A and B are shown apart, each in its own frame.
Chain A
Amino acid sequence: MRHRCCRPPRLAMPSLFPEAADEAVASPPKVARAGPPGRRFLALVFPRLPVERLRCPGPVAVWATQGPRRIVTSLSAEAEAAGLEIGQTLADAQAILPGMTLVPQDAAGDATALERLALWALRFTPLVGRVGAHGLVLDITGTEHLFGGEAALLQEAVLPRVTRMGLSVVGAVASSAGTALALVRAGWGGVVPPGREEATVAPLPLIALDLEPPLVAVLHGLGLREVGNVVAQPRPALVRRFGATLAQALDEALGRATRPITPIRPPPEMAVGRDFIEPVVTRAGIEAALAALLEDLCRALREAGRGARRMLLRAYRADGDVQDIAIGTGLATRDPQHLARLFQEKLEQLAPDCGFDRITLEAPRTDPLTGTQDTLGITGRAERQEELAQLLDRLAQRLPVWRLAPRASHWPERAMARVSAFDTVAVPKGWAPRPRPVRLLRQPPILQVLAQVPDGPPFRLRLGRAWHRVLRAEEAERIEPEWWRDRPDRLSRDYYRVELDTGVRLWVCRAGPMGPDARWVLHGHLP
């Protein structure tokens, strides 16, 4: 089980009283590292994501409209080599490199691409967050040893795979998310040993701090060009002049303040996974992998004394695509065979084009489940309950399943409430003493009715195409609308139980005022 370790950042707000503000920010935070010690973060930046995700050959530029001008916002490596720069107007860029492919910016497409990359990165750690438009932060604490250490994780597992996807990438590992991000923003990749953050960050250019461009320009004007220069300045003066944003950015970059990660998916309570050297393509292969994963996860659940309420099968395709299948159960369970049957119905949704190279199984929600004693008779009550719950689980994966619970209301449509099929329905004593229809029509057909007197029961009525004589009709039962929850113009209803000459018994209803224009409907079939 993994808990989120990140606390919200402690912002030093600008104060009305400069002295107080000075005191608050002047002394560096008492604890040098705000988060728990020993955490390690991996930051990734994809500087050319908008261009490279298009997979166009040749020089490419992505542009966006800013006010009246069209500005280049992203460039491919070839275009940059030809001397183009980000921030140029599109006309200038075209003059330099006339044959270039031009693509308008698609922010939503970029966000989707980054989301897919974040999902792909879940194979390394369950805690992955997006940063800005092109960045990811992975909390790799405790998972790096699975890949042979931090350097191996970065250099052998992450970067080559991203490069194979056709994306340029910079990655860095550090003891705080802010430090790692500062390094990759400045284009510096590698692993920073714990305790060396300040020394590594000091020589970086100011672009490493996540600051507004005007602020960076002002600092440049003061001759401050490196992070170390800014850090060396007296802190009260910095805060007074440039606000708390700069101090916060500095603290994050130096690892003194924690930068929170918002995970793209909440970390599961329990998860197991398997890697495949040869990608799995066939249905039989996927089923075998699922069986092995279920076995692992159910063993872990049994050891923890818990049962899963929701399960998520996440398949990582070799080309970076990630596909999810979720199932839910009504009662907590850790029976691999039952869970496998629930997944059976949904495995068709997977599309293993080029095969899955990793499949994980997570239990995002679990409930306590104590062991049940089996082998005590075959008709045990608990066992029956479990079998019924499993049947309802299977049905509920494909179809809506519910129970009806009595409710305190005379209005026929409201007399029963839909509840979950796993709820226990309590029946009040003396419930339903009156004869009522066995089938209540959801869309009551309109009847043509002749009555001898305006407020009397029907005398003849038309059902389908034929007119029928009413042999017997009981006294009207008036049901008034429930003013406390109905709309004000709801009409009261008079219900009649009638028997036709064929013996058919019906529950007919007259809504609204008596008279020739009364509206009659057939609301139910009596037994």
Chain B
Amino acid sequence: MPAPPTPSSFDRPALIAALRARIARMERAGAAGALAARGEDAVPLAPAIDADLPWGGLPRAALHEILAADPGAAAGFAALVLARAGGTILWIAPEPDAWPPGLGRFGLSPAQLVLVRAPRGQDALWAMEETLRCPAVGAALLVTGELDLTAARRLQLAAEAGGVLGLLLRSDDDGAAPTAALTRWRVGAAPSDSQAPHEIGDPAWNLDLLRCRGGRPARWRATWHGDQLVTEDTVPRTVPVRRRA
């Protein structure tokens, strides 16, 4: 019996799923493969979101892009992902204004945060690539503007080599440019569900999964409640989401 179960040629969905799995294995070699073998290659977000992502969460050893419709909401979501990735976190920006008193709410401790100031884009890309190649780092975030496909591809390869989760935080002005990142999110603020006019309530976000390699775009409204992300299915889905293969 050979290792991969060979589906009969008439079972098309199964055949396509097997081929997709093979391609995914070939694409994500090196550290990514090692992480996948240990079963710790994905950062969990919320059960509903994880179910829709093909990896059962946000994969490590990959690059993810966050378009910030609102700076506060995007920084909060990024902090949540970084904190759940664990380990040492590098925040690379032209003028890093991350503030640990607020980030601490998402589990990101100042003990693990290192800030890097890179005013020039070239330096920032170099710093990000060096960081992504270093397996001692848990995750890295780069605040950047326009990023060409070559640079993004380099970062993606570096993340695969080092097994580090990389985030690109960009402003949401040109969402149409192609990307080499594994996923692309748009994060905006959602009106909170607090009823009182004198209470802001928990942070609430609109999470748009705009692109996802091997998955379908999707949309959630999520609230940060206590120490977990709670999704609500009130937002009608624009496209039907494929079941996980």
Contacts and interface: CB of A to CB of B under 8 A. Distances in A.
A499 B192 CA distance: 8
Interface stretch (A193-201, A206-214, A264-272, A424-432): A424-432
19 contacts: A388-B134, A391-B137, A395-B130, A399-B118, A403-B110, A404-B115, A416-B101, A427-B109, A432-B100, A435-B200, A436-B102, A472-B201, A502-B189, A503-B70, A505-B203, A525-B70, A527-B76, A527-B102, A527-B105
Contact of A474 (B113, B126, B127, B198): B198
Nearest to A526: B72
A18 B104 CA distance: 77
B131 to A, nearest CB: 6
Contacts of A436: 99, 101-102, 105
B158 to A, nearest CB: 12
Contact of A432 (B101, B136, B190): B101
Interface in B170-205: 188-192, 194, 196-201, 203-205
A435 B105 contact: yes
A65 B130 CA distance: 60
Contacts of A402: 114-115
A157 interface: no
Interface string B193-221: 01011111101111000000000000000
A91 interface: no
In the A-B complex, the 5 residue pairs with the closest CB atoms: A527-B76, A525-B72, A387-B136, A438-B102, A503-B189
Contacts of B67: none
A472 B123 contact: no
A505 B72 contact: yes
Given A441-B97, A471-B197, A503-B190, A388 B103 contact: no
B145 to A, nearest CB: 17
B95 interface: yes
Contacts of B95: 442
A504 interface: yes
A255 B143 CA distance: 67
Contacts of A473: 197-198
B137 A388 contact: yes
A431 to B, nearest CB: 7
A474 B198 CA distance: 5
Contacts of A432: 100-102, 104-105
A398 B110 contact: no
B110 A404 contact: yes
A405 B189 contact: no
Interface in A362-394: 384-385, 387-388, 390-392, 394
A400 B136 contact: no
A385 to B, nearest CB: 7
Contacts of B76: 438, 527
B70 A474 contact: no
B79 A395 contact: no
A387 to B, nearest CB: 4
Contacts of B224: 527
A399 B134 contact: no
Contact of A524 (B99, B104, B115, B189): B99
A421 interface: yes
Contacts of B194: 472
Size category of the A interface is: 35 or more
Given A402-B114, A437-B72, A527-B105, A388 B136 contact: yes
Given A388-B134, A472-B197, A526-B102, A440 B97 contact: yes
Contacts of B98: 438-439
B72 A527 contact: yes
A399 B97 contact: no
Interface of A: 384-385, 387-388, 390-392, 394-395, 398-406, 415-416, 421, 424-427, 431-432, 434-442, 471-475, 497-499, 501-506, 524-527
Interface of B: 70-73, 75-77, 79, 88, 95, 97-106, 109-111, 113-118, 123, 126-127, 130-131, 134-137, 188-192, 194, 196-201, 203-206, 224
A475 B197 CA distance: 10
B226 to A, nearest CB: 13
Given A403-B113, A526-B72, A526-B203, A471 B99 contact: no
A398 B70 CA distance: 31
Given A391-B131, A425-B110, A472-B192, A439 B75 contact: yes
Contacts of B113: 403-404
Contacts of A394: 130
Contact of B114 (A387, A392, A427, A502): A392
Contact of A424 (B71, B111, B117, B131): B111
B134 A387 contact: yes
Contact of A427 (B110, B190, B204, B206): B110
Contact of B72 (A385, A403, A439): A439
B73 A425 contact: no
Contacts of A405: 110
A318 B50 CA distance: 66
Given A399-B123, A405-B110, A525-B72, 12 more contacts: A387-B136, A398-B127, A416-B99, A416-B110, A432-B105, A436-B99, A438-B99, A472-B199, A503-B204, A527-B77, A527-B79, A527-B105
Contacts of B200: 435, 472, 474, 497-499, 505, 526
A497 B72 CA distance: 13
Given A391-B137, A406-B100, A442-B97, A399 B117 contact: yes
B71 to A, nearest CB: 5
Contact of A504 (B72, B79, B97, B131): B72
Contacts of A426: 111
Contacts of B75: 438-439, 525, 527
Contacts of B114: 392, 401-403, 421
Contacts of B116: 395, 399-401
Nearest to A524: B99
A493 to B, nearest CB: 16
A445 B138 CA distance: 34
A527 B118 CA distance: 24
A273 B143 CA distance: 44
A391 B123 contact: no
B85 to A, nearest CB: 15
Nearest to B70: A504
Nearest to A426: B111
A395 B72 contact: no
A395 B116 CA distance: 8
Contacts of B199: 472, 474
